[in-house]
């Protein structure tokens, strides 16, 4: 199931921090990132035991990442959400309680997403623009909910398998398969993923890649009822 979901990732544009320009092209790279950008993503936070260390590792590596936070965790630890924001990370919606949304049904599935928007907006002053379904479990109705809330669905192209107990070496090896515009799935609570940060970022830079922001642009790659294409642009 996880392999199938990884193949179904929402293709997303990865940028260095600025909104995606209307005339963006794949040739528009920062000199330090000649081969483009990839997305480092961390699900299920914030986590008292690991979030601070993960932020410290990312900042030490001069890297930014996207954190898909669970609403209930954010309510319990708002200071960690604000720490993510202060560290320059991007914060996405990962539902209130991490259910399987298609199995949960409506209107509960919509409310899981909408309530998390309210929680994260109250804590950060900003409404998330990105959303990731727990387990990557999607349906036409869930996608309609996501569109109704003006969110971009973000899955992944590479699964670190930290959720299955992958070691730091295995996570670094998974990240080494990222291609420009790709997105890797990791988890905020996984110590092995925290430990992998310096090596992941170092290996990316050795390949002319940089961690970037997730956005999207239409092109000719079908995904559900919409088309997306991975494009990496400089700020």
CATH number of the CATH domain containing 85: 3.20.20.370
CB contact at 8 A, 66 and 43: no
Q: Which residues of 136-172 are buried (b: 16+ CB within 10 A; e: fewer)?
A: bebeeebbebbeebebbbbbbbbbbbbbeebebebbb
pLDDT at residue 216 greater than cutoff 80: no
Average of pLDDT values for 209-215?
89
Average of pLDDT values for 87-102?
97
What does the chain come to in residues? 235
pLDDT at residue 45 in the model? 97
Lowest-confidence region among 4-18, 37-51, 79-93 = 4-18
pLDDT at residue 120 greater than cutoff 80: yes
pLDDT at residue 77 greater than cutoff 70: yes
- Rounded distance, CA 222 to CA 234, Å? 25
Q: Which helix (H) or strand (E) holds 139?
A: none
pLDDT at residue 217 in the model? 57
pTM value is 0.85
Q: Please identify which of the residues 29, 43, 94, 188 carries the catalytic annotation.
A: 43
Whether 195 is catalytic: no
Q: In which domain, by residue range, is 26 found?
A: 2-233
pLDDT at residue 196 greater than cutoff 80: yes
Whether 145 is catalytic: no
pLDDT at residue 22 greater than cutoff 50: no
pLDDT at residue 211 greater than cutoff 60: yes
pLDDT at residue 229 in the model? 35
> At 203, is the pLDDT very low, low, confident or very high (cuts 50, 70, 90)?
very high
SS3 217: coil
- Indicate the average pLDDT of the chain: 84
Number of domains in the chain: 1
92 CA to centre of own chain: 7
Q: Please identify which of the residues 29, 77, 94, 187 carries the catalytic annotation.
A: 187
């Amino acid at each position: 199931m996880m392999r199938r979901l990884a193949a179904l990732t929402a293709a997303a544009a990865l940028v260095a921090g600025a909104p995606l320009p209307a005339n963006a092209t794949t040739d528009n790279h920062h000199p330090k990132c000649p081969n483009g950008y990839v997305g480092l993503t961390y699900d299920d936070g914030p986590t008292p035991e690991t979030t601070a260390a993960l932020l410290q590792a990312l900042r030490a590596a001069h890297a930014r990442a996207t954190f898909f936070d669970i609403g209930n965790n954010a309510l319990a630890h708002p200071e960690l959400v604000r720490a993510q924001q202060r560290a320059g990370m991007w914060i996405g919606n990962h539902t209130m309680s991490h259910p399987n949304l298609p199995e949960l049904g409506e209107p509960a599935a919509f409310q899981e997403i909408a309530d998390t928007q309210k929680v994260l907006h109250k804590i950060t002053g900003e409404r998330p623009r990105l959303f990731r379904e727990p387990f990557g479990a999607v349906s036409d109705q869930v996608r309609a909910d996501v569109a109704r809330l003006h969110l971009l669905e973000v899955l992944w192209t590479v699964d670190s398998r930290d959720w299955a107990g992958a070691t730091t070496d295995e996570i670094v090896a998974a990240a080494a398969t990222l291609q420009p515009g790709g997105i890797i799935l990791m988890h905020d609570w996984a110590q092995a993923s925290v430990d992998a940060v310096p090596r992941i970022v170092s290996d990316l830079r050795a390949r002319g890649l940089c961690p970037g922001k997730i956005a999207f642009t239409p092109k000719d790659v079908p995904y559900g009822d919409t088309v997306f294409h991975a494009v990496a642009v400089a700020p």
